[in-house]
Each structure stands twice: as C-alpha cells, then as structure tokens.
Structure 1
Amino acid sequence: MTAQSFVTIPPIPLPSRRGLVVTLLAGAILGFGFGLPGALTADGRFALVVSALAILGWVGTRLPESLVALGAVLALVLGGVLTEAQLFAALGAELIWLLLAAFVIAAVAKDAGLTERLVAPLLRRGMRLAPLVLALTLAIAATAFVLPSTSGRAALLLPLFSAIATALPDPRLKRPLALLFPTVILLSAGASLIGAGAHLLAAQAIRNATGLQLGYLDWAMLGLPFSLLASLIGAGLILLLFVPRDLLLTPIAPMQPAAHSPEQRRRQHRIGLVLAAVVGLWLTAEWHGIGMALTALGGALVLLTPPFGTRKPKETFRAVDVELLLYMTATVLIAQSMTQTGTDRWLAAHALSALPAHLAGHGLAVAVFLSVIAVMAHLAITSRSARAAVLIPALALPVAGLGHDPALMVLIAVMGTGFCQSMMASAKPVAIFGNAEDAGFTQNDLARLALPLAPAVTALLIGFALLVWPAQLAAMRGDAPQPHALAPASLPAQAVALTPPAAAAPHIAAARPQPRPKGLTTPVAPSRSTYVPARDLRRIEQRINRALRPAGLHVVIR
C-alpha cells in the first residue's frame, strides 16, 4: 500500500469588514480627488487626496498616527507638492523647539518633585472625582489668560496630569483624565485674546472691517462665557461617557507631599523662579520681541545647569518624545501643503457657494451655516491658525458682504475653530496627552467624545451668535449710527491681505447682492474705519506673523 502525503495549504485570510470599508473609501477618494473640475491645480488635487487619505488612515485604521502622518508627508514630497528643503526646514519650526524645551522643563520639574508639590494642595482633602474634575476644568481654563499658546499650555500641564494620574484610586480613571486636559485646553482658549494666534488675526480683521478695536478685556467679555460653558460641557460629557457610575463620587486618596530635604526645597524654589520668569517673558513678548520658543529654550538651558538639575543632560533629554515631535512636524507640513496650493481656500469658496441664495440674508441660516463650517474645518485643516487665516477672508467676510455684521461673522468663525478633538492630528494638545506615558487614549475614544461634543459646541455657538454677541458688540460700538455692512471689496485700504498663491486668487467668490437681512444685522459706520499710522500697522503685522509662524502662514497688511 502506497503511502500518500498531503500538503496542507493554509487558508487565505479574508479582509475584515473594516479593511474592506477603508479600501473602498480610499478608492473613492482617489477617484473623486483626481476627477474634480479643472478649477483646482494638479498640486492642489494631490494635496487634497493625500490629506483625505491621511484622515482615513487616522480614523479608519489601527496604524500609528505618526506612521500615517510621515507617510503622507513623504507622498507630498515625492509628488512635488512640497520640496525637500521644506521637509527639513519644518524640523526647525518654532513649534518643534517650543515642545522640545517644554519637555526638558517638565522633566526637570518632575524630577525635583515640584509638580507633586503643586498638586498636593488640590488632593490633600480627599476630594471626590466629580468636584475634582470641576476644579481642574476651572484651573485649566484660567491658564488661557497667562499662557499664550495651547501647545505651550499642554506641554507645561503634562507633568500636573502625570502627578494626578498616579494618585487616582482606579486605573480606569486615567483615560478620562487624559481626555479632560486637552479638551479644556482647546475649548477654553477662546476666552483670552492671547489664547491662540488665531485670535490676533480675528481681532485685526474685525478692526479693519468695522473700526472696532477689541482689547484684552473686551475679548474676555465676548469669549469667556462661551469658552467656559463649552469647557464645562466637554467635562460633563467625559464624566458621562468614560467614567463608570460607581466611580463618579469616588473619593480620591489624599496626596501628601513627599518629605523633601532643605536643599531639595531650595532647588524647587529656584526652578519655580525660572518657570515664573519664562511665563513672564511670554506675557511681555510684545515689549522685548523674544519669541516663545527662544524663551522656553533659554529656560530649559538654565534648568539643565547643576544648581537646578541633578541628572546629566543626556538623561534629561531621554524624556523628550521624539515620535511626537516628528508627528507634529508632519501635521504642520500637511497643513502647509493645503495652504500653499490654495486647496483650503478652494474648499472654503465651495462651502460658501453651497449656501442657497434665498437663505443668504436669513440670520439663523447664516449662523448655522458658518458655525457648522467653522466647527468641522479641523477635519481638512489641522492647524488652528491656518483655519482662521482661511475662514476669515474666504468665508466670514464674504458672508458679511451679504448684509451681516462683519465682527459677528469673524467671531463665529474663530470661536468655532476651538473645537478640534476628532483626531489625534487635529490639535497639538490632543496628540501630547493622547501619547502620554501614564495613560493616554485612542482614536476611538476621541470619536466617541467628538460625536456628542461637536453638535453641542455648534449649538452653543449658534446660541451665542443669535442671543449674546450681537448685543455685546452693539454695546462696545456705543450704539453708533449703523448704515449697511461693508462688503469685502469695500474694506478699507488697511485690510489684512493674506497672500495666497496665484492659483488661489480666484477662489474667493464675489458677494451676491441681497436684500437687507432679518437677523444678525449690525452694519458698520464707515466713519469708524479711520487711518492707521504705518508704524502701528507694521507692529500689528509683526505680532500676527509671530503667532502664525508655526502654521507656515504670512500676513501682509496694506
């Protein structure tokens, strides 16, 4: 009897349902992107397709976000949209140096026990979880008035998060805590004029279009109520969605500060003085002209010296998250490709053309339209400053030309950009806390939070646009006589001119003549648009460009 041998062929693995859906969506993106009308340049089409595929990779696959981002940037360079010089220059961007210095400062402060000492008074009485979340929300929101960058706030608050995370009684509470910090950092930024670089651009656009100059306190009166309510809504949703009910009122174990020697206490005081000096230089940057990154780098260099740090510098530098720095660089480059090809303005113009003519003069319809676009813009433009730089001239001011208050339209656009919690790449604070060593969260967690938070923030934005901000703006203007609103073409000569590439010039549609609208009408008196000396204009231009430098944007004021 002849022995027979059988060869076992392993079964061919079938693609999962998720993989099949992602593959079909990727094919649809490729077909749609390269089949668009000829109004968009070839580079613009390529940048749009790569950005859409990157979003699909972040949301629909389990690939690491940094791997997807770096792959997208490599495709943009090989496709000729970005140059090799731009790729390598992005590693020297101000944002990258700011984060590098912030990681060093945080490592030195944590090694000295300073962060635990700062958090201990908050946890000394054994506060329950819900009151602790409320206290943290208010404390994080307050930092928007003294720290002029969401990325800087995230980097400096990361050690505080790590200290609190170690004191939590249940490991399941670390994920909601990690979600709380970036959510409140981003939503509370709108409370302060220095909370984000986009606010400086918005304030200047409002001044050019209406003559209304919003100062530090004026902006706080407009933005604080909205930003605080949005932050509290975000904190409430995090408690509702991510904290088990039996842990909502769980008392946090009192955290007693560790016993430190007199020498270590003196070291903590010295580090605290350096941190206070860094924040003070940030707040007075308008006077001395030193940028945030250079200030932070100087502070990090001082803290690495023996009187402040006890470890060798190479040991401290191991705390720097290199993967996160590369990820940040890649997202900045993706946003830069959308800007320099004019694709972002092309998207904004098409969004404006989608507004039906018979609704263009209706206040509620315009508020809903602009709010939805502003909140969802982070899915296409991953930089907050870049979103404001696109939405204000390409959407908010053209909508104002239809008969609405330019100040109100700009305010809606810039406040809506504060929501960007849908993806890791949507905002730098989200990426910083999402990749935290102590806990972190996943893309699925962000999607679970964003689904109810996005409509809640949009509804809140619409409510303020209809019920609160019109009265506040009218009071700030002193109820001056109000003729028809200015159209974009009739703005004063000092208006902000965002310098787009030549291909992007025709992408801003002209305003259609409309009858006087029924709502949101606070037209502007031309007499308020007065002459501004050239010296003041140059100083304003320098401030805006310093704020927009991390996004790769440049503003020219004529």
Structure 2
Amino acid sequence: MPAAAAKPIPTPRHWISLVAVVGVTLFLLGMPAAPVMVRAGAVIGLCIGLWATGWLPQWLTALIFFTLCTLAGVAPAETVFAGFGSAATWLVFAGLIIGAAIQYTGLGATLAQGVGPWLEGSYRRALIGVILLGLAMAFFMPSGMGRILLMVPILTTLADHLGYGQGERARTGLILGGIMGTFLPTYAILPANVPNNVLMGAAEAVLGTPPTYSDYLLLHFPVLGLLKTLLLIGVMLWLFPGQAPAPAREQMPSLSLATPERWLAALLSVAVLLWMTDAWHGISPAWIGMGVALVCLFPGSRLMAEKPLQSISFDSFIYVAGIVSLGALAYQSGLGTLVAGELLSVLPLRDASDAAAFGMLSALAMLLGTLVTLPGIPAILTPMAPGLAEMTGWSPEAVYMTQVVGFSTVLLPYQAPPLIVGILAARISLRETARLCLVTALLSVVLLWPLDYLWWQWLGWL
C-alpha cells in the first residue's frame, strides 16, 4: 500500500497568526461604531504584518482581508474588491496564461537555448547577463508586470539549460537576478512601472504639467538606474554565489521553431510592439495582455493544454487583487493621508538643510510604501507637493521627484505586486527575496542616496 500523505501540522507561527486574525475579527464586530480609519487600520495592520512575515500564504492573507472587510462592513464593496477591477490584476492573469503558453509550446526552452551560449563560461557572466537583459527590456516594454511574467519562464528554462538544479543558490540567483534587474533599477525610466505612471498622472492633475521622459531619465537614471544596477549585481554575487554553469549540450534540440512556437512568437511580437507604443494608441498593457491570453486559451490554438486553467495556479492573481484593494482601502479611508500628514508634522522641514530635506522626503515616501504599497505613494504625496515646496523653498517638481528615490528603495517584497508575482511564478523563497530587498535598500540609503543628492545639486534641481 502507498504511504499515506503527510498531513500538514500547524506551527507556532500559524497559531499566532490565527490568534491575531481572531482578535481583529472580535474587535471589528465588537466595535462597529469605531472610526473608519481605526477599523481600516486594524485590518491593514494585520494584513501587512502577515504579508511581511510570510507566516501565512500570501493568497490566504488576501482572502482574510476580503472576508474581514466585508463581514465587518469596513468599506464599500467597490473599495474592498477594487483589486479585481484593477488593470494590474488582470495583467497578472494574462501573464499566467502567457507564461503557461511559453512553457507548453517549448518557446521558453528555444529562447533559452539561443541566449544560453552568450551566458556560458562563468556564473558571474550569466548573472550579469540576465540582470542587464532585464534592464534593457524596460526601455521597450512599459509594463513591469508584463516584463517579469514574460521573463520568468525564460529564466527558469535558462537555469535548467545551464545546469542549475532546483534548490541551488546559483539557480535562485540567476532567476531572481533577472526579475530584480527588470524591476528595481527601472523606476528610473518614466513609463516602466506603475508608480512612475501614477506620479506622472498625479503631477499633471496637481501642477498642470507632467514630467517629461528626458528630464525624468536624466535626473534619475544615472544613479537610481545605472549605479543601482551595479549595486544589485554586487549584492546578488554576494548573497547568491554559484559555480560555473555546466550546460548539457548533448540534450540541446535544434533551435528551429515548431509551428505553435512560431505562432506564439508572432503573437508575443505583436504584444511587445503594442506595449512599446501604448503612449500612442492608449490601450492599457493589461488589455493587450488579455488579448494575447484569449488567443492562447481559444480552443484549437495549440498554444495551451486541453484544459488550460487546470494547470495554472491563481495564488498570485488573488494576492495582487488583495494588495491593490488594501492600497485602495488605505487611500479611501484617509489612513494613508493621515499617516503622511502626521509624519510631515514632526519633520523639521522649514529649518532643514537641502540635504536633510532630501533625506526626509525620500524616507517619507519609502516608509509610506510599507502602508499603501508603492503605487499609493504618489497618489498621496503628490497633492502635498505645493505645500511642501513652500516649506522647503524648492520647486514643486523637485519635491515630488523625491518620491522616486523613496519608492525605488523597496524594503519588503509585498510592497511591489510585480515582484511578488515574479517570485511566486518562479517559486522563489519569499524569505530570500525579503533579505535581498532589505540589504539592497540599506546599501541604497547609505551609498546611493548621498550620490543622488549630489547629482541633483550638480544638475541645479536643488
């Protein structure tokens, strides 16, 4: 007889999480007249704590968020479930389908075989190669989520081709390096990530003129783009050492594309072209991705298995919907604005030097991101720019540009839905990713922030 499957045993962390959930539930049900911000703060604090510690699966915490908010009437349904109406969430769904199609057709393996010879020889070369590849993609694809979901199946296949097996630190480093390369330094490229685009829209709404691509790139890319890429390479080589790759050349099939691969390659080429030109045609990257997903899912396309949805995990879809909804709740309840206002009230901006004000405003954006996630930062802080400009003596443009320094310094993975989606799709440890984020953030504050301040001064922004 086959051995019975091992039953999962609750750990002390699970019991602590359960006590916290029950405690917040009792508070919400027992105090229905409490102020909205207090009730919202209890749910947000619980979920951020669970996401940050990883004591419960991320999707389960998202379901707890939806349930508590609805059960206790913390906010209207359109706020609680705002994530399911978000383009970012449906881009995740599209990415899951596209990734599955890349794997099913074998296109990922073919692309990895084409890139592999350029990265063979040393682990250092392979790691630097995937990081630079991720950075280069940001200039052509405006959607961070789309880039990561397109890269993950290619990176995993590439790791297989180079001989890095499951559980090896070199494999984790290679995949995580490609994900972080197309994520962390790309906040310095204006259309490359959602917070950048929110900042652009908020700046236009508040001040009448959005930042231009060239000004934004000149101000941020030399330090927050190039130098951060070098910093990321150094940290990755330190945290994820590896041996030289040993590709199995005898197992390499021909690089010629089969018919389904050719169809999928053509389909993705059209998608990338539309993603690159979204500023011209105005179609959201999410709906471009959904169009590709629908073609892949259509019966007879030969791009997916017979029952495609059965082979897809929807963990990341639920999780991203929860993250986006939490940000909406923090904003709609006024909690995010209250926290930002309280922090500003204790910051001595009027009497601070330019260097101190630069550090305080950047830190304010960085810390606010732990509450409202990264896309919520510009939505809350940009309307405050004229008042902060009066306090600091800077231009409003210089004030709101400090947000980029803050939201490009990611403390924990849950703050950034694209990052979480990438590590979930690639089955990378949340703990490993959190450690990488914290180390990189600390070194960024110590090394890059002072250099960025000097760069701003040299350009005449301060």
Query: Does the alignment reach a TM-score above 0.5?
Result: yes
Q: Which residue of structure 1 lines up, in the alignment, with residue 3 of structure 2?
A: none
Which of the residues 370, 385, 400 maps onto 1:410?
Answer: 400
Which of residues 176, 186, 190 in structure 2 aligns to 1:189?
A: 186
1:300 aligns with 2:293: yes
Partner residue of 1:459 out of 438, 446, 449: 446
Tell me, yes or no, if structure 1 residue 364 matches structure 2 residue 370: no
Cα drift, residue 428 of structure 1: 1.7
Match of 2:417 in 1: 428
The counterpart of 2:338, out of the listed 346, 362, 373, is 346
8 A Cα contact 1:374 1:413, kept in partner: yes
| CA distance in structure 2 between the aligned counterparts of 1:346 and 1:326, rounded to whole angstroms | 28
Residue pair 1:397, 1:410 contacting (<8 A) in 2 also: no
The answer on whether the counterparts of 1:278 and 1:296 sit within 8 Å (CA) in structure 2 is yes
- 1:169 matched to 2:158? The reply is no
Instruction: Indicate if the aligned counterparts of 1:191 and 1:228 stay in contact, CA closer than 8 A.
Output: no
> 2:458: which partner in 1?
471
d(CA) in 2 for partners of 1:360, 1:25? 42
Question: Are residue 309 (structure 1) and residue 298 (structure 2) matched?
Answer: no
Amino acid at match of 1:192: I
In the alignment, residue 149 of structure 2 is paired with which amino acid?
A
Q: From 28, 37, 40, give the equivalent of 1:47.
A: 40
Change in Cα spacing, 1:319 to 1:162, as seen in structure 2 (3 Å) is: farther
Once the two structures are TM-superposed, the CA of residue 441 in structure 1 deviates from its matched residue by 0.7
C-alpha contact (below 8 Å) 1:120/1:256 kept by paired residues: no
Return closer, same or farther for 1:19/1:365 CA change in 2, 3 Å cut-off. farther
Change (3 A) 1:459 1:374: farther
Decide whether the 8 Å contact of 1:174 with 1:440 is kept in 2.
Answer: no
Aligned pair count reads 444
Moved more, 145-154 or 193-202: 193-202
Q: Assess, with a 3 A threshold, how the Cα gap between structure 1 residues 106 and 23 changes in structure 2: closer, same or farther.
A: closer
Asked if 1 retains the 8 angstrom alpha-carbon contact of 2:267 and 2:292, the reply is: yes
- From the superposition, tell whether residues 324 and 25 of structure 1 become closer, same or farther in structure 2 (CA, over 3 Å): closer
1:344 is displaced (CA, Å) by 0.5
Alpha-carbon shift at residue 85 of structure 1 (Å): 5.1
Counterpart in 2 of 1:440? 428
State the secondary structure of the residue aligned to 1:127.
coil
Pairwise CA distance, 1:317: 2.4
CA 1:136–1:421: 2 relative to 1, 3 Å: farther
Aligned-pair distance for 1:185? Answer: 2.8
| Residue among 154, 157, 176 paired with 1:160 | 154
State the match for 2:8 in structure 1: none
Amino acid at match of 2:188: A
For residue 432 of structure 1, what is the amino acid of its counterpart?
Answer: V
Q: Does 1:393 align with 2:390?
A: no
SS in 2 for 1:468: helix
Q: CA deviation at 1:24?
A: 11
**2:142 corresponds to 1:148:** yes
Aligned pairs for 1:158-557 within 5 A: 158-167=152-161, 168-170=163-165, 171-172=167-168, 173-203=170-200, 214-225=211-222, 226-243=224-241, 247=242, 249-253=243-247, 258-259=252-253, 264-305=257-298, 308-309=301-302, 311-314=304-307, 316-356=308-348, 360-382=351-373, 384-394=374-384, 396-402=385-391, 403-423=393-413, 425-436=414-425, 439-442=427-430, 444-472=431-459, 520=462
Query: Per residue, is there more helix in 1 or in 2?
Result: 2
Partner Cα distance (1:307, 1:68) in 2: 37
Q: Secondary structure at the match of 2:321?
A: helix
Q: Distance in 2 between matches of 1:306 and 1:54?
A: 39
Matching residue's letter, 1:391: L
TM value normalised by structure 2: 0.84
Structure 1 letter corresponding to 2:423: G
TM-aligned CA deviation for residue 327 of structure 1: 1.3
Could you tell me the percent identity over the aligned residues? 25
TM-fit CA distance, 1:230:
1.6
Give the residue type in structure 1 aligned to 2:353.
Answer: H
Give 1:176's aligned amino acid: G
Report the 3-state secondary structure (helix = DSSP H, G, I; strand = E; otherwise coil) of the residue aligned with 2:425: coil
Larger radius of gyration, structure 1 or 2? 1
2:428 aligns to what SS in structure 1?
coil
Find the aligned partners of 1:392 and 1:255 in 2 and give their Cα distance: 54
Q: How many Å apart are 1:399 and its aligned residue?
A: 2.5
| Structure 1 residue 228 displacement after superposition | 2.6
CA distance in 2, matches of 1:29, 1:236: 42
Cα pair 1:196 1:385 within 8 Å, conserved: no
Cα pair distance change 1:267/1:100, threshold 3 Å? same
1:239-291 per-residue CA deviation (whole Å, 9 max, x = no partner) reads 21233xxx3x52342667843597x5343233222111112122223333322
The 1:55–1:114 alpha-carbon spacing in structure 2 relative to 1, beyond 3 Å, is same
Segments of structure 2 that go 5 or more residues without pairing to the other structure are 1-10, 29-33
The residue type equivalent to 2:348 in the other structure is P
* In 2, Cα distance between equivalents of 1:95 and 1:326: 12
| Secondary structure of the corresponding residue to residue 321 of structure 1 | coil
User: SS at the partner of 1:435?
Assistant: helix
One of 57, 67, 71 as aligned partner of 1:74:
67
Q: Where does 1:6-25 land on structure 2 (aligned, <5 Å)? A: none
Pick one of 59, 64, 76 that aligns with 2:57: 64
The AA in structure 1 aligned to 2:318 is L
Compared with structure 1, are the counterparts of its residues 242 and 25 closer, same or farther at alpha carbon in structure 2 (3 Å cutoff)? Answer: farther
Match of 1:109 in 2: 102
| 1:23 Cα offset (Å) | 9.7
Instruction: Go from structure 1 to structure 2 and tell me whether the alpha carbon gap of 1:208 and 1:461 turns closer, same or farther (over 3 Å shift).
Output: farther
Describe the superposition over 1:467-514 as per-residue Cα deviations: whole angstroms up to 9, x where unpaired.
11243355xxxxxxxxxxxxxxxxxxxxxxxxxxxxxxxxxxxxxxxx
> Given residue 69 of structure 1, which amino acid in structure 2 is its aligned partner?
A
Alignment partner of 1:67: what SS? helix
Cα deviation digits, residues 456-477 of structure 1 (max 9, x gap):
2223553244211243355xxx
Name the residue aligned to 1:539.
none
Q: Structure 1's 209 and 460: CA in aligned 2 closer, same or farther, altered over 3 A?
A: farther
Distance 1:307 1:221, change over 3 A: farther
Unaligned runs of 5+ in 1: 1-14, 34-40, 475-519, 521-558
